[in-house]
A and B are shown apart, each in its own frame.
Chain A
Amino acid sequence: KQEVTQIPAALSVPEGENLVLNCSFTDSAIYNLQWFRQDPGKGLTSLLLIQSSQREQTSGRLNASLDKSSGRSTLYIAASQPGDSATYLCAVRGAYNAGNMLTFGGGTRLMVKP
Chain B
Amino acid sequence: EAQVTQNPRYLITVTGKKLTVTCSQNMNHEYMSWYRQDPGLGLRQIYYSMNVEVTDKGDVPEGYKVSRKEKRNFPLILESPSPNQTSLYFCASSLWKLAGGRETQYFGPGTRLLVL
Contacts and interface: CB of A to CB of B under 8 A. Distances in A.
Interface string B60-92: 000000000000000000000000000000101
Nearest to A32: B101
Given A53-B101, A89-B43, A102-B45, 18 more contacts: A31-B99, A34-B104, A36-B107, A42-B109, A42-B110, A43-B107, A44-B107, A46-B104, A51-B101, A51-B102, A91-B43, A91-B105, A93-B103, A98-B98, A100-B58, A102-B33, A102-B43, A107-B42
A15 B108 CA distance: 30
A43 B42 contact: no
B110 A99 contact: no
26 contacts: A31-B99, A32-B101, A32-B102, A34-B104, A41-B110, A42-B109, A43-B107, A44-B107, A46-B104, A46-B105, A49-B104, A51-B101, A51-B102, A52-B101, A93-B103, A100-B48, A100-B58, A100-B59, A101-B33, A101-B105, A102-B43, A104-B42, A104-B43, A105-B42, A106-B40, A106-B42
Interface string B22-63: 000000000101000000101111001010000010110000
Contact of A101 (B4, B94, B110): B94
B60 to A, nearest CB: 11
Nearest to A45: B107
What 5 pairs between A and B have smallest CB-CB spacing?
A51-B101, A44-B107, A104-B43, A43-B109, A43-B107
Contacts of B56: 99
A48 to B, nearest CB: 9
A51 B101 CA distance: 5
A105 B110 CA distance: 18
Given A42-B110, A44-B107, A107-B42, A101 B48 contact: yes
A46 B27 CA distance: 15
Interface in A32-80: 32, 34, 36, 41-46, 49, 51-53
Nearest to B55: A99
B78 to A, nearest CB: 20
